[in-house]
Structures are given as C-alpha cells and as structure tokens.
Amino acid sequence: MPTVDATLPAYDLNDIPGTGFHFLPQSDELSAGQDDELTKLISKTPHGPFFIRGFGNAASLSAQDQTDAVRLGLLRATRLARLLLERGVPASALHVRGDAFGTGAKIANTP
C-alpha cells in the first residue's frame, strides 16, 4: 500500500493532435462510418508518414489495468495500420504506438 508521501507517476494526459477514430467499447473494431476519414488522410499524403496512436481507456493506475490498456491501444493502432496498408500506404510510412490513457486512436503526419 502506498504511503501518504508516495509520488504518483506524471502521465502526459494532454490531447494529442491528429484525426480521431472511434472504436467499439473494449475492442479494436472501428465504429461504423469512418472510412471517409481514412480516405481524406491518404488523399492528403498518400505515402505518409502516418503516426498512429491507439489508446486503451485505462480506468486506474494499477499495473495490470495499464498493461491491458496498452495492449488494447496497440491492437487499435495496428488495426488502423492494416487498413492503411490495404489502401496502398507503404509499411515504412507507418509508425504505431499504444498508450494506456486516452480514447480510440489518432492518426497524424507528425509525431
């Protein structure tokens, strides 16, 4: 049990720039109607780069909850990366990351 003087981790919870994508709760399945957003991203920069961050909606600071959330975030980011690959974006243009805290996923052209 942490003491009263225990220092909590300094998580960066700032909203990051990029195009947001919504997923069904606790899954890597995209919600309906988001194909147009992927099409817009690819039409602007067909060869990337694309920095994809998936988020796992961690509900607590527990190690297990955060581990599970990072895993979900990686699954979500990987799902978006596969969709971009299927649309002809080169694998070398994709940068995938999973985070515990946040909702859905975001794709940006800069890190």
pTM of the full structure: 0.87
Can you give the three-state secondary structure of the chain, one letter per residue? CCCCCCCCCCCCCCCCCCEEECECCCCCCECCCCHHHHHHHHHHCCCCCEEEEEECCCCCCCHHHHHHHHHHHHHHHHHHHHHHHHCCCCHHHEEEEEECCCCCEEEECCC
Task: Give residue 7's pLDDT.
Answer: 64
> Tokens 């009263």 label which residue?
4
Written as tens digits, the pLDDT of the chain (111 aa) is 555 566 656 666 778 899 999 999 999 999 999 999 999 999 999 999 999 999 998 888 888 999 999 999 999 999 999 999 999 999 999 999 999 999 999 999 999
